[in-house]
Amino acid sequence: MVRPSGGLAGMSAARDDDHLREECGVFGVWGAADAAALTALGLHALQHRGQEATGIVSFDGERFHSHKALGLVGDAFSDARVMARLPGAAAIGHNRYATTGDTVLRNVQPLYADFEFGGLAVGHNGNLTNAHALRRALVRRGCLFQSTTDSEVFVHLIAISLYGTVVDRLIDALKQVQGAYSLVALTSEALIGVRDPFGVRPLILGRLAGRDGAWVLASETCALDIVGAAFVRDVEPGEIVVIDDAGVRSIKPWAKQPSRFCIFEHIYFARPDSIVEGTAVYEVRKRIGAELARESHTAADIVVPVPDSGVPAAMGYAAEAGVPFELGIIRNHYVGRTFIEPTDQIRHLGVKLKHSANRALLAGKRVILVDDSIVRGTTSRKIVEMVRAAGATEVHMRVSSPPTTHSCFYGIDTPERDQLLAARNDVDAMARIIGVDSLAFISIDGLYRAVAGAARDARRPQFCDACFTGDYPIPLTDQSDQSNDRQLSLLAETR
């Protein structure tokens, strides 16, 4: 498991775990009278994609309205007076997870700006890999940046474009950026959705039943379910969908190229009840667990998931191995994000605030622990200690992702490479550090077989898997640009 790379002052107990973090979720509605309320519900279903801040921009036919707040969706949009200030039949919303620095309101999306053609609001899931370079060029041209998010680059590129229509200006801007992006944008005339040419991050199109066919855009299908919308289709990689009262118009400004969807969405990021790229996430995770058992099973008495994310893989593992699945670790769901300002004395207890060992079950047992990833290894080590202290005679860890050896630059919060346990150690050394009797990860081909039914095509990989292979499909322009100055490096703060 992994820990976020950025250190918020006073990191909460809930955040102090050891997982990779999805960085954003987006949602949009066109043509429903209570668009902002629907958007709040959609963002609530997408809360797992970002918990630091949230925002909604609505349009009532004449004016745009905005509300943004730090914290969770339920806290930001539960007040009827707030919702009353977001009228209109069109809205977009955004959940944010920050990687570095303080989360401040000016960085909370959707971003909004007034242009000569009218207002435009934008919400972005992903990460631009040439944002530093673009920002430097834009600052030299006199652009004044209001935030430190890379997403603001979109706004300035649209502002200076010489094209006439907002869609042409957007295409002009998109052709200058590199990176991963799923966007929702709102103008007075349309709701717009965009996926980058590789389709790294998800974006789907849905339709609300019984509401004059109102349209919805969302990061995942779980957000359609909560508002009662039917899944229509994935927005395709490299596609722009323009939604207005006449329906949906599809624009494909790039030559078609093979998709490189983020394979980690299947392993961990997406909610288990979502359908991702046509596949049920829950079933995929069970298949990954079964493949893991075929590859690396060892004799044991029980299979125990590290909750919650390890549960489906552990179920698949246990069924394939013919070993009982047991909840040997219980997760405390009531650790609030603002539980404490941890003192040094109790900070080390962090993992026990969130997980506790089921002693009656673990004592005297040979245990296979199943988790979805190991990033720094700090939480894994504490959990193994906890399971041993509860009386387990052997602890074997099986991981439903390959070793995380590289950082992600496409919208997932990962530590610097030198802090990734697998970047510095082989599997045997990792096993010693974590304190397990044996450790095994699913192979990259086993992962592909479980997710897509075929081994990885080394010449044309079917997914982005760069955090396991170092094979980055999109250029990392800013990483190789050593001339960025300190001011511009603030762009490392992502949405």
b/e string for 122-153 if b means 16 or more Cβ within 10 A? bbbbbbbbbbbbbbbebeeeebebebbbbbbb
How many other C-beta atoms lie within 10 A of the C-beta of residue 344?
6
Shortest Cβ 129–ligand SF4 spacing (Å): 11
At 181, list the tokens: 């992006």
Q: Does 154 bind ligand SF4 (CB under 6 A)?
A: no
Please give the Cα distance from 152 to 136 (Å, whole number): 13
Q: Does 408 bind ligand SF4 (CB under 6 A)?
A: yes
Shortest Cβ 263–ligand SF4 spacing (Å): 5
Q: Does 263 bind ligand SF4 (CB under 6 A)?
A: yes
Task: Tell which residue, 465, 20, 453, has the closest CA to residue 200.
Answer: 465
Binding residue for ligand SF4 (CB under 6 A) from 36, 43, 217, 466?
466
Instruction: Enumerate residues 199-218 that contact ligand SF4 by CB under 6 A.
Output: 200
At 65, list the tokens: 């309205």
Shortest Cβ 32–ligand SF4 spacing (Å): 32
* Residue 24 annotated as catalytic: yes
Please give the Cα distance from 94 to 57 (Å, whole number): 9
What is the maximum alpha-carbon separation in the chain?
72
Cβ atoms 309, 372 nearer than 8 A = yes
Shortest Cβ 370–ligand SF4 spacing (Å): 20
Binding residue for ligand SF4 (CB under 6 A) from 27, 112, 154, 410?
410
Instruction: Report CA dihedral (28, 30, 33, 34) to the nearest 10 degrees.
Output: 0
Q: Does 97 bind ligand SF4 (CB under 6 A)?
A: no
Q: Does 268 bind ligand SF4 (CB under 6 A)?
A: no
Nearer to ligand SF4, 10 or 470 (CB): 470
Shortest Cβ 463–ligand SF4 spacing (Å): 7
Nearer to ligand SF4, 91 or 444 (CB): 444
Shortest Cβ 257–ligand SF4 spacing (Å): 16
**Alpha helices by DSSP H, 20-146:** 35-45, 73-76, 80-84, 131-140
At 378, list the tokens: 């700090």
Segment contacting ligand SF4 by CB under 6 A, of 44-52, 164-172, 256-264, 451-459: 256-264
Q: Does 464 bind ligand SF4 (CB under 6 A)?
A: yes
If you compute the radius of gyration of the chain from its CA atoms, what whole number of angstroms results? 23
Nearer to ligand SF4, 201 or 297 (CB): 201
Q: Does 467 bind ligand SF4 (CB under 6 A)?
A: yes
The set of residues, in sequence order, having a beta carbon less than 8 Å from that of 6 and lying 6+ positions away, is 98, 99, 100, 101, 413
Q: Does 281 bind ligand SF4 (CB under 6 A)?
A: no
Nearer to ligand SF4, 408 or 434 (CB): 408
Binding residue for ligand SF4 (CB under 6 A) from 37, 45, 412, 421?
412
Cβ atoms 103, 23 nearer than 8 A = no
Binding residue for ligand SF4 (CB under 6 A) from 30, 64, 97, 264?
264
At 320, list the tokens: 């394939």
Segment contacting ligand SF4 by CB under 6 A, of 159-167, 240-248, 336-344, 465-473: 465-473
Q: Does 267 bind ligand SF4 (CB under 6 A)?
A: no
Shortest Cβ 411–ligand SF4 spacing (Å): 7
Shortest Cβ 57–ligand SF4 spacing (Å): 27
Backbone angles phi and psi of 492, in degrees to 5 = -60, -20
Binding residue for ligand SF4 (CB under 6 A) from 150, 225, 371, 465?
465
Nearer to ligand SF4, 59 or 410 (CB): 410
Segment contacting ligand SF4 by CB under 6 A, of 39-47, 225-233, 407-415, 439-447: 407-415
Shortest Cβ 268–ligand SF4 spacing (Å): 9
**CA separation, residue 32 to residues 36, 90, 123, 485 (Å):** 9, 7, 19, 46
Helical pair 378-389 and 427-434, crossing angle rounded to 10 deg: 50
Cβ atoms 216, 42 nearer than 8 A = yes
**Total residues in contact with ligand SF4, by rule CB under 6 A:** 11
Segment contacting ligand SF4 by CB under 6 A, of 11-19, 360-368, 433-441, 458-466: 458-466
Nearer to ligand SF4, 161 or 407 (CB): 407
Geometric angle at alpha carbon 45, from 178 and 217, rounded to 5°:
50
Segment contacting ligand SF4 by CB under 6 A, of 85-93, 166-174, 260-268, 393-401: 260-268
Geometric angle at alpha carbon 259, from 257 and 262, rounded to 5°:
150
Nearer to ligand SF4, 169 or 260 (CB): 260
**CA separation, residue 234 to residues 136, 353, 465 (Å):** 34, 39, 20
Half-sphere exposure of 252 (CA within 13 A, CB side): 10
How many other C-beta atoms lie within 10 A of the C-beta of residue 334?
9
Segment contacting ligand SF4 by CB under 6 A, of 36-44, 262-270, 286-294, 300-308: 262-270
Binding interface with ligand SF4 (CB under 6 A): 200, 262-264, 408, 410, 412, 464-467
Active site positions, annotated: 24
